[in-house]
Amino acid sequence: MEKVQQPYKDEIDKEEYIVRKKLPKRLPKRKNDVYVTRRTDFKAQLARCQKMLDSDCHVIYIHGLGAATNRAVNLALQLKERSLGTIDVAVNTSTVELVDDLEPQVDHLEPQTQIRNNSAIHIKVFRPMPSIDGVAGPKTTGLGTVDNAAPLNGAKTDS
């Protein structure tokens, strides 16, 4: 299969190819990971996240891709608003490479793949560590680490 980088959808002749969008590669799913899409029921995800935060889960990670980034942000903000100041958020954005299969509709063409980039958002929703005797607890340092804690997904840090 030949790889093709095509920057614009308009360049693909819809009479010659059908575009099959593949699912993006996901990080390993932990019990506290929530993947938001445009199709998921917002109220159900809000209730699920709230239930996790109300139980033993002190940190959840909300992930959104492309058009679902607004829903992911809205979900995190709704959780923060409902918490009455007991929840904080840390946001990280990234670019995800997606691969689409181009299936030919004409006999003389070869199957191809198309690589495109899409924006993603990763939101850490957590309960901050309470201060003890006026001394603040460990500070958060971005999305995946807290001082003196192991980073997420085996990532290396500069410490």
- Establish if 78 belongs to a structural domain: yes
pLDDT score recorded for residue 10:
52
d(CA 58, CA 141): 16
Domain CATH number, residue 42: 3.30.110.20
58, with CB counted inside 10 A (0-12, 13-18, 19+), is middle
Q: Is 139 a domain residue?
A: no
pTM: 0.68
Q: Residue 44: what pLDDT? A: 96
The one-digit pLDDT tens for each residue of the chain (159 residues) are 555 444 445 566 667 777 777 777 766 688 999 999 999 899 999 999 999 999 988 999 999 999 999 999 999 999 999 998 899 999 999 999 888 888 887 778 888 888 889 999 999 999 887 766 555 555 544 444 444 333 333 343 343
Q: Establish if 30 belongs to a structural domain.
A: yes
Q: Into how many domains does the chain fold? A: 1
Task: Answer yes or no: is 155 within a domain.
Answer: no
Query: What gap in Å lies between CA 68 and CA 131, rounded to an integer?
Result: 35
Does residue 51 lie within any of the structural domains? Answer: yes
Give me the pLDDT at residue 105, please. 79
- Residue 111 · residue 132 · CB < 8 Å: no
Other C-beta atoms within 10 Å of 88: how many? 13
Instruction: Answer for the pair 109, 17: CB distance below 8 angstroms, yes or no.
Output: yes
* Domain, as residue range, for 20: 2-127
